[in-house]
Chains A and B, each alone.
Chain A
Amino acid sequence: MPSKRSAAWLAENGAVAALVVLVVALSLLSSDFLSLTNLLNVGVQAAVTAILAFGSTFVIVTGGIDLSVGSVAALSAITLAWTATEGGLPWPAAVVLSLATGVACGLVNAALIAYGKLPPFIATLAMLGIARGLALVISQGSPIAMPEAVSHLGDTVGRFLPIPVLVMLVMGVVAAVILNRTYPGRAMYAIGGNEEAARLSGIKVSRIKLVTYALSGAFAAVAGVVLASRLASAQPQAAAGYELDAIAAVVIGGASLSGGKGRALGTLVGALILAVLRNGLNLLSVSAFWQQVVIGVVIALAVLVDTLRRRGTN
């Protein structure tokens, strides 16, 4: 009991340690950093990346990769806004349609991977282009206003608690429960750990992959809707490049790109590290060119700390 618990805890702790170091450093460097408002801001700014990254966690646990999440997020948000405004659908129907769009994109990815035997990198790279293109086609390249009711997702409950943070936490719990407690979740770890052993143990690998990529698509849709709600506007070019942030968050959180490892909590910490970093760089007025350097260095360091700690325990 204790060996695995503590090993897993330590694995997560690598990322947690990096986050703590970052927070302490920023608190010392900027007096504005450690305020409730600012920390909630960080939470809001982490939300979209975190939700995308929860979806990517499923995929990475199976040993795959999903490059299409940013584009799928944009397409789902555009679908919602377009069907609710131009299409005249009531907003709940538009929300359902938007989630269905995300799921559909994921299912296409999975079909290409599981039945077409395409490498996940290529299948989802194709979807990255397809989804972004469709978002542009539907929107004619221009932002579409979000329906009023859905835009409240970008507001706060009461005076303080931002809804994007709540959505992020709920999606995190959902991801954790799926990964830890359900058959598809456990099967994802087995497939990522050893696909052939999983198959010979009667796990229907192709079917689990369908579920995995569909979940990734659904999470991307939620992220897209949250992002659009914050802006009160669905933009075809939204979330471009976010897939790399999502992957970085998952890996910083202790997952292995070769599969079989990864946890929702770790992913949350990874997304928070990225958000804290960007927030801090703004507060410190670091120049535009240096910001990219710093972000790259911190991503490498965070993962390095984690691997070194884990090597130390082995």
Chain B
Amino acid sequence: MRIPAIVMALALGLTACGGGGDGLEIGMSVSTLNNPYFVQLRDGAQAQADKLGATLTVTDAQNDASQQVNQVQNFTSQNMKAIILNPVDSDAAAPAVTAAERVDVPVIAVDRGVNGVEVAQTVASDNVAGGKLAAQELARQMGEQGQAVVLQGTPGTSASRDRGRGFEEGIKAFPNIQVVARQPADFDRAKGLDVMTNLLQSHPDVTGVFAENDEMALGAIRALGSRAGKEVKVVGFDGTPHGLTAVKDGTLAATIAQQPKLLGQRAVEAAVKVARGETVEKSVAVPVKVATQQNVAEFETS
């Protein structure tokens, strides 16, 4: 008796959700929910959808570009009024966008752009600019001299490419800082720990670390132990809750805070607008900010 009752309640709840608000249906395909950053992006989008009275259906592409194409196609057949796409891969997302636009469903790209085709709007933070900011902040905290290493993200991903490029451009301005090693740790905390441990063997005098995301930065901090934040400055990227906590504790020197919730929020705003036939700007840059111990409080609330 109890189980059917629960099922009924759930079913009612679900239909209630579906019928609520003005019922504007929006589909959102997230590259992966296997990463707190994208979970926050989804949370921001969900909150904004609730506020505007739209119905948001979120799918997880599990970092598989072909799966993402299928998901977008499914959205079009479910008669979604707009689609928010967080591409797994900027190049591979083009067919999905083409498929949606063929049936006049507008697409908003979020966090990463789509190469080769036009979308209604791209909401993204600028990874290249972020990489540059990271270089400047790391250099400042290192006293503009010494040896630094870079922990790279998964080889071949656009985030790794752009952040790395921005960092290299930025660090050129500081001739007394030498980048002595660049090694991949695949955006993974455990690998960040192992790779940093190994790099410390060959480069014991390192005083600066740039990790292309916070997860690897947290792994590196684990490898550095008590030296993190004192002799060795670590700069991360993303501004995840754990990253911000580490900044507050002083172990992470800084993180380039993207604002995933804000990205999600802006994407939904744009999606609702285009679904109603309003025109929107081609691109919206959500600012990245350097979060340090001094200003970390303002990020945690967002």
> Do any CB atoms of chain A lie under 8 A from CB atoms of chain B in the complex?
yes
**Bound-state Cα–Cα, A288 to B156, Å:** 9
Task: Write out the residue numbers on chain B whose beta carbons fall within 8 Å of the beta carbon of A278.
Answer: 194, 198
Which residues of chain B are near A239, meaning CB under 8 Å? 190
Q: Could you say which residues of chain A place their CB within 8 Å of the CB of B181?
A: 282, 285
Count CB-based A-B contacts (< 8 Å).
Answer: 85
Question: When the two chains form their complex, are residues B39 and A231 in contact, meaning their CB atoms are under 8 A apart?
Answer: no
Interface residue? B36 (CB, 8 A): yes
* Complex CA distance for A151 and B33, rounded to whole angstroms: 26
Q: Mark B153-190, 1 if CB is under 8 A from A, else 0.
A: 00110000000000000000000000001111000111
State in angstroms the CA–CA spacing of A45 and B156 once bound together. Answer: 25
The answer on a CB contact under 8 Å between A283 and B33 is no
Shortest CB–CB separation between residue A284 and chain B, in angstroms? 8
A47 CB to closest chain B CB (Å) equals: 11
Please state if A283 and B222 are interface contacts (CB–CB under 8 Å): no
Min distance, Cβ A27 to any Cβ of chain B, angstroms:
13
* B190 and A141 form a contact (CB under 8 A): no
Residues of B within 8 A of A32 (CB): 201-202
Query: Does B34 touch A at the CB level, under 8 Å?
Result: yes
Q: How large is the interface on B (under 10, 10 to 19, 20 to 34, 35 or more residues)?
A: 20 to 34
A143 touches B36 (CB 8 A): yes
The closest CB in chain A to the CB of B241 belongs to A142
A39 to B155 Cα, complex, angstroms: 27
> B152 at the A/B interface (Cβ < 8 Å)?
yes
CB nearest to A230 among chain B residues: B193
- A37 CB-CB contact with B under 8 Å: yes
Beta-carbon contact of A279 and B33 below 8 Å: no
A33→B242 CA distance, assembly (Å): 33
B35 touches A141 (CB 8 A): yes
The interface size bin for chain A is 35 or more
Residue among A48, A142, A143, A291 making CB contact with B184, cutoff 8 Å: A291
With both beta carbons as reference points, the residue of chain A lying nearest to B222 in the complex is identified as: A231
User: What residues on B are CB-neighbors of A237 within 8 Å?
Assistant: 34-35, 188
Q: A141-B39, A142-B36 are in contact. Are A231 and B152 (CB under 8 A)?
A: no
Are B222 and A285 interface neighbours, CB within 8 A? no
A231 lies within 8 A of B190 (CB): yes
Complex: A233 Cα to B184 Cα, angstroms: 21
CB contacts under 8 Å to B, within A282-301, are 282-285, 287-289, 291-292
- Choose one: A227, A232, A233, A283; the contact of B201 (CB below 8 Å): A283
When each residue 192-211 of chain B gets 1 if its CB lies under 8 Å from chain A and 0 otherwise, what string results?
Answer: 01110111011000000000
**Within the assembled complex, what's the spacing in Å between the Cα atoms of A60 and B25?**
49
A235 at interface (Cβ–Cβ under 8 A)?
yes
Contacts of B199 in A (CB 8 A): 282-283
- Is B260 on the interface with A (CB-CB < 8 A)? no
Interface string of A200-237 (1 = CB under 8 A from B): 00000000000000000000000000010011110111
Q: Please, how many angstroms separate the alpha-carbon atoms of A48 and B189 in the complex?
A: 14
- A32–B198 CA distance with the chains assembled, in angstroms: 9
Query: A136 on the interface (CB 8 Å rule)?
Result: yes
> Which residues of A lie under 8 Å from residue B201 when comparing CB positions?
32-33, 35, 37-38, 41, 279, 283
Asked, given contacts A141-B33, A141-B35, A143-B242, whether A227 binds B195 with beta carbons under 8 Å apart, the answer is: no
The answer to whether the Cβ of B229 comes within 8 Å of any Cβ in the partner chain is no
B219 within 8 A of A: yes
Shortest Cβ distance from B182 into chain A, in angstroms? 7
- Name the residue in A32, A35, A48, A237 with the highest tally of chain B Cβ atoms < 10 Å from its Cβ: A237
Task: Enumerate chain A residues within 8 angstroms of B152, measured Cβ to Cβ.
Answer: 288
CB atoms of A230 and B183 under 8 A apart: no
Q: Are B39 and A230 in contact (CB under 8 A)?
A: no
Identify the closest chain B residue to A45 (Cβ).
Answer: B194
Q: Are A283 and B198 in contact (CB under 8 A)?
A: yes
Q: Is the CB of B190 within 8 A of A227?
A: yes
Q: Sample 9 A-B pairs with CB under 8 A, ordered by A number.
A: A33-B201, A38-B198, A231-B189, A231-B190, A232-B222, A279-B201, A282-B202, A287-B182, A289-B156
With A140-B39, A231-B219, A233-B189 known, 19 other A-B pairs at CB within 8 A are A32-B201, A141-B34, A141-B36, A143-B36, A230-B190, A230-B193, A233-B218, A233-B242, A237-B35, A237-B188, A238-B190, A239-B190, A278-B194, A279-B201, A283-B201, A284-B202, A288-B182, A291-B184, A292-B155
Q: Which 3 A-B pairs have the closest CB atoms?
A: A282-B198, A288-B184, A141-B39
